[in-house]
Amino acid sequence: MKKAYSAEERFEALKLASEIGNQAAADRLGIKVDTLYTWISKAKKGKPGFSEEPGNIPITDTTRLKQLEKELREAKEEIEILQDALGFFVKRRKK
């Protein structure tokens, strides 16, 4: 039965293969060298989940948009807090 490897496992395997060689990496990780060659081929073609770090794997546009909107809201809140704090310290300093 085939084992499903996570994007992180594939990324680390490709990284190791580039450092110590394909056969050595496959042996060390206990995977078939043919599997590693397939991953290398997919990474060269830029297939999602193979060519980038796991945290940067493309996700659906809608999900990404919601994630960015949330980050923007949080950043705006942080800016407001910092502006309030700055105003407080400026007033205090003028006295």
pTM over 0.85, yes/no? no
Using CA atoms, how far apart are residues 25 and 76, in angstroms rounded to an integer? 45
What is the predicted pLDDT for the residue at 52?
58
Confidence category of residue 61, pLDDT binned at 50, 70, 90: low
Residues 50 and 77 in one domain: no
Confidence category of residue 75, pLDDT binned at 50, 70, 90: very high
Residues 7 and 17 in one domain: yes
| Residue 52 burial by Cβ neighbours in a 10 Å radius (0-12, 13-18, 19+) | middle
Question: How many folded domains does the chain comprise?
Answer: 2
Nearest to 22 by CA among 56, 30, 14: 14
Residues 48 and 37 in one domain: yes
Number of neighbours of residue 13 by Cβ within 10 angstroms: 21
Residues 23 and 34 in one domain: yes
Which residue range is the domain that position 2 belongs to? 1-57
Residues 67 and 88 in one domain: yes
